[in-house]
Amino acid sequence: MHFISEQLLDDGVLAREFTLGETPGTLWTPDSAAPVPLILMAHNGGLHRREPRLVARARYTAAQGYAVAAIDHPGHGDRPRSAADEQARADLRRAMRAGEPVDEIFESFVGPLVEKAVPEWRTSLDALLALPGIGGPVGYAGMTAIGIRLAVAEPRIAAAGFFAGGYVPRAQREEARQVTIPLLFLLQWDDEGNPRQRALDLFDAFGSKEKTLHANPGGHVGTPWFEVEDGDRFFGRHLK
Amino acid sequence: MHFISEQLLDDGVLAREFTLGETPGTLWTPDSAAPVPLILMAHNGGLHRREPRLVARARYTAAQGYAVAAIDHPGHGDRPRSAADEQARADLRRAMRAGEPVDEIFESFVGPLVEKAVPEWRTSLDALLALPGIGGPVGYAGMTAIGIRLAVAEPRIAAAGFFAGGYVPRAQREEARQVTIPLLFLLQWDDEGNPRQRALDLFDAFGSKEKTLHANPGGHVGTPWFEVEDGDRFFGRHLK
């Protein structure tokens, strides 16, 4: 893990850009003498890890006493997009506008992303936990499909917040029953890209004894800020 | 409103028993110099307002800086039960055990309860808000059916937490769209007495711009304690 820049923010949070092999990432850490728990924050939709609303959440969470790491998955942010990725995204947008079924396009696009991203998260986790000031346990927050795979494959993940689980690849829908860590499952009730009933079915399927669903009205990007605070309290119960 | 006894609890909360006409109730107030917001806490199922898990919630909430009032509705707690009430309850239990439809029994039982309880809450509200140390705004927490009616009829209710909305009388299902105050709708995912899909449909129907659904696995009495804390933070956002 090579740190390539750092910036001390006005809330006392240190933001450091890093690379790990081909993976670019950002690590936000609070001003803390004691080691802090780590939260892996994952996003989708081709978004950049420097997208302002993702950064605002990461900074706020770091200021509550967590190390927060985000990476750009293959085809996201700073990383090259393949022609196949671009085509799949264009197909997805077109099909959604036309109200056509999107499962197969989604599967062809997100299935491989999960397979590529999860090993990168595990390598990142090794490197992050070797840094001074970062202790276990580890939480995961964000994109549902990657989170399911990581929660099943990676025993160091102790609790997870999943967002927008309407479309999830078949493999992860099947793995949901194997997820047993405490979950906070966050749903936008009118999410244009995530069918509500499928998200509710996925919540039902998780094997976790402690799982909580939070749902709010509005579309994909309309999550109210208080859910960020609720998420941090959820992690506080399980990681601190 | 006549206070008939008082007890200072070890968390600094003062618990006072009162009567208002035929209505017996309890008021919990924190040790506070400034006026505190009021939360009306309503329950169902023939429970007594002194049921330990209701009292634990009321005391905890009072200690967070709220006045909390509970009353025994007609046919509940200290109040006489009519032969018709007893018969309806017995019919309901028998039908549930047999897996038979319970809508008509429920309607015959809870419909009139709502009609009788809501005026008692409004009279109680007048008396409670006239007490020193209790200011507006007012929140409501508990039984969904009474809460819907009260939220529609009573402009002093500024925010409400509803619990277990699977069976709600027809009149209140129709009124749900008229509810526009901020809501926290709490659902036990496997509530034996409250069909999940009906509760989700009711959440969908509320007219409120801010409404949040919280769901946890388990039966009717299995709500995790952290939901009490979440409820208090919800009221903190809207009443303080």
Q: What would the two tokens of residue A27 be?
A: 């690590």
ipTM of the complex: 0.93
Give me the pLDDT at residue B85, please.
81
Say yes or no: B180 contacts chain A, CB-CB below 8 A: no
The distance of A147 to chain B (nearest Cα, Å) reads 20
Judged against a pLDDT cut of 90, whether residue B74 lies above it is answered with no
CB contact under 8 A, A200 and B203: no
Phi, psi of B46 (to 5 degrees): 75, 10
Cβ neighbours of B222 in A, within 8 Å = none
Say yes or no: A201 contacts chain B, CB-CB below 8 A: no
The distance of B213 to chain A (nearest Cα, Å) reads 5
**pLDDT one-digit tens code per residue, B143-189:** 999 999 999 999 999 999 999 888 899 999 999 999 999 999 999 99
**Per-residue confidence in pLDDT tens, chain A, 240 aa:** 999 999 999 899 999 999 999 999 999 999 988 999 999 999 766 667 778 888 999 999 999 999 999 999 888 888 888 888 888 888 888 998 898 888 898 898 889 999 999 999 999 999 999 999 998 799 999 999 999 999 999 999 999 999 988 889 999 999 999 999 999 999 999 998 889 999 999 999 999 999 999 999 999 989 999 999 999 999 999 999
Say yes or no: B237 contacts chain A, CB-CB below 8 A: yes
Average pLDDT over residues B192-198: 90
The number of angstroms, rounded, from the C-alpha of A99 to the middle of its chain's C-alpha atoms is 27
Give me the pLDDT at residue A74, please.
85
CB contact under 8 A, A212 and B214: yes
Say yes or no: B204 contacts chain A, CB-CB below 8 A: yes
Say yes or no: A226 contacts chain B, CB-CB below 8 A: yes
A interface test, pick of B212, B229, B230 with most A CB neighbours within 10 Å: B212
Judged against a pLDDT cut of 70, whether residue B223 lies above it is answered with yes
B interface test, pick of A203, A226, A234 with most B CB neighbours within 10 Å: A226
d(CA B132, CA B122): 18
B interface test, pick of A213, A216, A225 with most B CB neighbours within 10 Å: A213
Give the number of other Cβ atoms within 10 Å of residue B182's Cβ: 20
The distance of A214 to chain B (nearest Cα, Å) reads 5
Instruction: Report the 3 state secondary structure along chain A.
Output: CEEEEEEECCCCCEEEEEEECCEEEEEEECCCCCCEEEEEEECCCCCCCCCHHHHHHHHHHHHCCCEEEEECCCCCCCCCCCHHHHHHHHHHHHHHHCCCCCHHHHHHHHHHHHHHHHHHHHHHHHHHHCCCCEEEEEEEEEEHHHHHHHHHHCCCEEEEEEECCCCCCHHHHHHHHHCCCCEEEEEECCCCCCCHHHHHHHHHHCCCCCEEEEEECCCCCCCCCHHHHHHHHHHHHHHC
d(CA A39, CA A110): 22
User: For residues A237 and A183, is the Cβ–Cβ distance under 8 A?
Assistant: no
Confidence of residue B83 (pLDDT cuts 50, 70, 90): confident
